[in-house]
Structure 1
Amino acid sequence: MAFTPADQRELYLPLIEGIHETPPFGLFMRNLVARTGARRAFLILTLANAAQAQEPVVIPVSAPRAHAEPPIDFRRLEALRLHPHGALRPGRVYALDEMLDYDDRAQLALQRAALEEMGIRHARWLRVSAGGAADAWLVLVRLREDFSASAVSLLTEVAPHLGSALRTLVALIGQRLQAALAQTSLERLGIGQIALDAEGRVMAADRIAESLLTFLPDPAARAGRRMQVLPDVARQIEAACAALAARGSEPPRVVRIDPRRQLDLVLRPADLLLDDPAARPAVIGVLRVSREQDSAAGAGVLRAVHGLSAQEAALALALSRGEPLIEAGMALGLTAETTRNYSKRIYGKTGASGQADLVRIVLNGLAPLA
């Protein structure tokens, strides 16, 4: 079957663009329902390494004539013990009769009665696999007439393209996970980052930077945004970016971008490792705000790493926050003498030479990331 302009516009392009939708492939599903004459449909997406209790992503779609009908209950459909979805051959289109259990007459009668009640008299199943990393099951149903030969042929033609889109989605999910891992750790430390080009335009900003700063479209209508700061601050950022981009060995520059909040931005030459093709930033801007740590989690890490008792770990955390020794002990219900004894044990177990060294050990360790 040759690709038509309608195929490309209504199916293949929405598959490519659909990997960025939430949930993915919604427009593709709506167009596929219209093209095949289906009444209702759903697409189930499962990832191979998803948690056991994690629900699959289900994208239900109905034709306009069925907009008042409830979506297909895929859990009820699954409970009918039709031909197991995992046993379907990827890329092959299955008819409803192939899914029924003809070896058990009682089960067959139960299946047919339930399907009739659900308004499913004709259906097609299609399984798509992403090399073991993910699976998708596409189910389309009709009520009065079976699917035409051209509709089934269209599903067969679509299958490899849906498989390719699913593999791309899996790769994108992996990249999103990597980004989320890095961003979550930085957020625990109160660190925000901005990627800038050589002219000081913002190419990207993480969640903390977005929450702390205001960004405006570039006045020259070029790609990127500008930080909404005072004119003098904007000039300092532009000059620093130009210098750092021109001479990569330049030392970092510090610009106070908000005097009222005492918010500083450290600008340094970009050293990101990006695969081509990529628009590489020239400068990375880093800012930091105070973050309240989870004391219980941090103390648990100190206990596990250094063998501290619960009270010793709590005292060590308090000292790492700069609290005076005796006051920190009193807050924990300890006497002055007990506090001094605990501090000696803490220094001995952690190898710290004093409170300043303990602060270094705690803040450079895993406790702030717990």
Structure 2
Amino acid sequence: MPIDRVAPDTRHLVDLLFAGLAERPIWTRFRAELARVSGAGGVALVIRGGTGADETAVIGGEDGSGSGHGPPLPDLVALEGMGELAPQRIVGTGRGGPALGLRVPLPDGMSAWLVLEAPAAPKGWDELGVMDLLAALAPDLSRALPLYGVIAQPERARLVAEYVLEASGIGVVVVTADGTVLSANATARTIMARTDLLRLRDGRLVASTSADQAALRAAVAAMARAQAPRLDPACHCSVALADPVGAARLTLIVRPGPPYWPVSAPLRRTAVVIVRDPAQPATLPPGDLAALFGLTAAEARLATRLADGEGLDEAALALGITRNTARSQLQAIFAKTGVNRQGDLVRVLLGSAANHVGPGGEG
């Protein structure tokens, strides 16, 4: 059908284009509105790295978002053959139908394509009108799309860091110099819910006793003052929070807040409090030890108990094997791990990736 809804005035679409940088999934409303006003059956943004980069992002894919505006999954070879900033008809979409596209050059040899798939009943689709719309959007796309690279890379790094922290059972709390909590990951909140030694009170991170609170406050203030433009891995304070009644102990590492380069100073100085869950068993998953060191299942079970601090006789009794069998398995473990002393074996096992599997058992 003719797209008399499409007018030269693209301000509404441009507003959605720039606002969409903050959306997750990104550009959801822009793609939906562009599909509506153009009559397209689907809208996709394809962003590809420069020379030597093989990463291609397809935004608006059949990603389970339920938006109904999935991309036509175009043939990248067809896209690469397109000229820049010139709307044109392209073929070779994943669904076999026609599509219209616009190629936008990006910095560092990257390129982006805005691709509109024809509707399911393409007869009467105003392709010329859609091309005029794409041409009108070209200047703003040239300004907006480079920001994707600026946003995507640090966000991807943040998501990876969050995933590793949560998977490893490490709690992280970011606080200001006076202990006001700016953020706390899920693991940190779980740990604080399990213990009275560290908790949130009136928006601040506090310890259970006045002595521990003084030590925590001093460490946080010192590390906030030490926040610098560059990372210094050696800069940290250690704080132990002790239960005055029982034997429980919660250990913390306090570091300066994130490096603030390239600005000359942070808006407010911060510190990072790192905590491990004392309730989380330190047991190394036998399956991971077997995979990492080529151990048999029986050898991995013995290695796990030795890494937990059990002696050979104690481990043999717990596993229901004789001492001679345990000694034989230990020699096989020594051979496979490249050590010949039990102390060295424990050091190797605890220093392995198996120690970072975190909650959830074997990987």
- TM-score, structure 2 length as denominator? 0.66
How far did 1:337 drift? 0.8
How far did 1:322 drift? 2.2
Matched, 1:198 2:198: no
Q: Aligned to 2:171, what secondary structure does the other structure show?
A: strand
Give me the whole-angstrom Cα distance separating, in 1, the residues matched to 2:34 and 2:326: 71
The Cα RMSD (Å) is 4.7
How far did 1:92 drift? 1.8
Q: Which residue of 1 aligns with 2:254?
A: 268
- Write the deviation string for residues 145-168 of structure 1: whole angstroms up to 9, x where unpaired: 52565x644422423543554443
- Write the deviation string for residues 91-139 of structure 1: whole angstroms up to 9, x where unpaired: 22114xx649xxxxxxxxxx9xx86xxxx8xx63223455565644420
Pairs aligned (count): 319
- Whether the 8 Å contact between 1:298 and 1:368 is mirrored in structure 2 is no
Give me the whole-angstrom Cα distance separating, in 2, the residues matched to 1:364 and 1:312: 18
Matched ranges for 1:276-287 at <5 A: 276-277=262-263, 279=267, 281-287=269-275
Q: Aligned to 2:250, what secondary structure does the other structure show?
A: strand
Give me the whole-angstrom Cα distance separating, in 1, the residues matched to 2:254 and 2:354: 27
Matched, 1:124 2:111: no
The alpha-carbon distance between structure 1 residues 163 and 124, as it changes in their structure 2 partners (threshold 3 A), is same
- TM-score, structure 1 length as denominator? 0.65
- Write the deviation string for residues 50-77 of structure 1: whole angstroms up to 9, x where unpaired: 78xx9944358xxxxxxxxx767836xx
Q: Which residue of 2 aligns with 1:146?
A: 126
Q: Which residue of 2 aligns with 1:63?
A: none
- Whether the 8 Å contact between 2:286 and 2:297 is mirrored in structure 1 is no
Q: Which residue of 2 aligns with 1:74?
A: 72
Give me the whole-angstrom Cα distance separating, in 2, the residues matched to 1:299 and 1:59: 39
Matched, 1:15 2:22: no
Match of 1:173 among 152, 160, 176: 152
Q: Aligned to 1:284, what secondary structure does the other structure show?
A: strand
Moved more, 331-340 or 249-258: 249-258
Give me the whole-angstrom Cα distance separating, in 2, the residues matched to 1:213 and 1:170: 37
Matched ranges for 1:334-345 at <5 A: 334-345=321-332
- Whether the 8 Å contact between 1:187 and 1:208 is mirrored in structure 2 is yes
Q: Which residue of 1 aligns with 2:27?
A: 25
Matched, 1:245 2:224: yes
Match of 1:92 among 78, 82, 86: 86
Matched, 1:302 2:293: yes
Q: Which residue of 2 aligns with 1:189?
A: 168
What is the identity, as a one-letter code, of the residue corresponding to 1:21? E
Q: Aligned to 1:177, what secondary structure does the other structure show?
A: helix
Matched, 1:38 2:29: no
- Write the deviation string for residues 169-205 of structure 1: whole angstroms up to 9, x where unpaired: 2343332333344444444432111121111122333
- Whether the 8 Å contact between 2:175 and 2:271 is mirrored in structure 1 is yes
Q: Percent identity?
A: 22
What is the identity, as a one-letter code, of the residue corresponding to 2:39? A
The alpha-carbon distance between structure 1 residues 145 and 136, as it changes in their structure 2 partners (threshold 3 A), is closer
The alpha-carbon distance between structure 1 residues 126 and 330, as it changes in their structure 2 partners (threshold 3 A), is farther
The alpha-carbon distance between structure 1 residues 21 and 243, as it changes in their structure 2 partners (threshold 3 A), is same
Q: Aligned to 2:17, what secondary structure does the other structure show?
A: helix
Contiguous gaps of at least 5 residues in structure 2: 1-8, 63-67, 228-234, 358-363
The alpha-carbon distance between structure 1 residues 254 and 14, as it changes in their structure 2 partners (threshold 3 A), is farther
Give me the whole-angstrom Cα distance separating, in 1, the residues matched to 2:255 and 2:135: 51
How far did 1:251 drift? 4.0
Q: Which residue of 2 aligns with 1:316?
A: 303
Give me the whole-angstrom Cα distance separating, in 2, the residues matched to 1:247 and 1:323: 41
How far did 1:288 drift? 0.6
